[in-house]
Structure 1
Amino acid sequence: MSKTDANSGPARGPAEHEVRDQIVSTATEHFSRYGYEKTTVSDLAKSVGFSKAYIYKFFESKQAIGEAICANCLSQIEADVRAAVNEAEHPPEQLRRMFKSIVEASLRLFFQDRKLYEIAASAATERWQATLDYEARIQALLQDILKAGRQSGDFERKTPLDETVTAIYLVLRPYLNPLLLQYGFEYTEEAPTKLSSLVLRSLSP
C-alpha cells in the first residue's frame, strides 16, 4: 500500500515530485502505526524529517495526504477487479467475477490494517473526491459489462441502461463502502455468489 499514485489527491507543487511520494509513503506507515485521527501534520513532519511548512508546499491539509493514500488503496482494488473481469470472456461471467473480486479486494485492503481502515472510513463518511472518483469508475466498468451483455444477447434490453447500472451498483455498494462492509462481514463469503446469481436472473432476456 506504500506505492503511490502521483495523480491522486489534492496537492501543491509538482505532482510527480519524489518528495511528495516520500511524504505519502511515510504518512502511510505513520497512519498505520498511530491511526489517522490521532496524527497531526506536525507529527508527520517529524516522521518524514521535514518542516510542517515544507509539507504544506505539497499538500494543503492532512486530509489531502489521506486522500492520496485512500486513492492508492482504491486504485489497488480497482486493478484487482479489472484483472478479474478481464479473465472472463462472456459478460455473465464477467459480472460474477466483478462481484466476487470487489468483496475479496475490499476485505483484503480495508481489514488487513485497522489503522488505515480509519482513513477509508473517513473518506466514505465525508465523501472525499477519491472515493467519488472510484465509485464513478466502478459504475463505468459495470456499464461496459452490461453493454457487452446486451450486444451479445445475454442481457435484456428493455430496461434503460442507466437504470440497470444504478440498480446493480446499489446491490454492490455495501461491499464497496467500508462503513457498510463491516456490518455485512458475516455474509461476505456467500454474498458474491448469491447476489450475482440473483442479478443475472433479473438480466435474462
Structure 2
Amino acid sequence: MKKATTSPIPARGPADHEVRDQIVVAATEHFSRYGYEKTTVSDLAKAIGFSKAYIYKFFESKQAIGEMICANCLNQIETEVRAAVTQTDLPPEKLRRMFNVFTEASLRLFFQDRKLYEIAASAATENWQAVLAYEERVQKLLRDVLQEGRQSGDFERKTPLDETAMAIYLVMRPYLNPMLLQYSFDYTKVAPAQLSSLVLRSLSP
C-alpha cells in the first residue's frame, strides 16, 4: 500500500522511522481486538512492549495514531478507485466506476472490522485532518473527471465546474462517510448504479 499524500498528521519522530510503522501496525491489531475508544496509550504500550514515553516520541496522542491508521485505510480506498478510473478512457464510465468502487471499498474497509470502524466513526465525527485531506482529494479527482468529460464533449459546460463537482460530491458523500454509510447500507447494492445514471443524465450536453 502506498503512503497517503495527506496533509501532515500530528506525529513526532522521523516520519519514515520503522519503529513508528511498527507502532501503527501493532495499534491497528490492538484496536481491532479491543476497540479504539476503550484503549488508552498505556494499554497500547503494554501490548506492544514499549514504554508509554517511547510511544510519545513518535505520536503526540492516541488520536495521532488513529489518524495514521485512518489515513492508511482511506489511502487504500483511493488507490482502488484511481486504479479503476485509469482502466477506461471514457469520462462517463470513469464517473460510474467512482460511484461503484468508492461504495464497495468503503463498505469493505469500514464494516469488515467493527472495532476499527470506531476509528473511522471518530475521524468522521471530529473532522480529523486525514479525513479532510481525503475529501479534498476525492473532490479533486471528481473535478478532473468532469473536466475531461467537458473537453471530450460528453458533459455540459454551462454550469461552473466547482459547482457541478460539489453537487456530485454531495450525492456521493453518504457512501463515502462512515457515519452516513451505516444509514445508507440498505441501498448500497442499487445506489451506485442508479445515482451515477441520474448524475450522468444531468451532465448531458
TM-score normalised by length of structure 2: 0.97
Which residue in 1 is equivalent to 2:82? 82
Q: Which residue of 2 aligns with 1:197?
A: 197
- Give the fraction of aligned pairs with identical amino acids, expressed as a percent: 78
Q: Is the 8 A contact 1:6 1:15 kept in 2?
A: no
Are residue 64 (structure 1) and residue 45 (structure 2) matched? no
For residue 7 of structure 1, report the CA deviation from its aligned partner.
7.0
1:10 is the counterpart of 2:10: yes
1:39 aligned onto 2:39: yes
In structure 1, C-alpha distance between the alignment counterparts of 2:5 and 2:174, rounded to whole Å:
27
Per-residue Cα deviation, 1:39-90 (whole angstroms, up to 9, x for no partner): 0000110111110001000000000000000000000000011011111111
Deviation of 1:6 after TM superposition, in Å, equals: 8.1
Native 8 Å contact 2:88 2:94 kept in 1? yes
Note if contact 2:94-2:145 (Cα within 8 Å) is conserved in structure 1. Answer: yes
Structure 1 pair 137–82 and aligned structure 2 pair: CA distance change class (3 A)? same
2 CA distance for matches of 1:103 and 1:145?
Answer: 18
CA distance in 1, matches of 2:45, 2:201: 54
**Equivalent position of 2:122 in the other structure:** 122
Aligned partner letter, 2:32: S
What whole-Å deviation, never above 9, does each CA across 1:107-126 have from its counterpart, x for those lacking one? 00000000000000000000
Q: Which amino acid aligns with 1:175?
A: Y
Distance across 2 between alignment mates of 1:84 and 1:7: 19
Superposition misfits of 4+ residues, deviation over 3 angstroms? 3-8
* 2:96 aligned partner: 96
Name the SS of the counterpart of 1:12 in structure 2: coil
Q: Runs of 5+ in structure 1 lacking a partner?
A: none
SS of residue in 2 equivalent to 1:57: coil
Q: Which amino acid aligns with 1:85?
A: V
Tell me if structure 1 keeps the 8 A contact 2:4–2:72: no
Deviation for aligned residue 1:5? 3.8
CA RMSD of aligned residues (A): 1.2
Partner of 2:21: 21
What residue identity is the alignment partner of 1:167?
A: A
- 8 Å contact from structure 1 (residues 7, 15) kept in 2: no
Amino acid at match of 2:94: Q
CA distance in 2, matches of 1:165, 1:63: 31
Q: Note the residue ranges of structure 2 that are not aligned, 5 or more in a row.
A: none
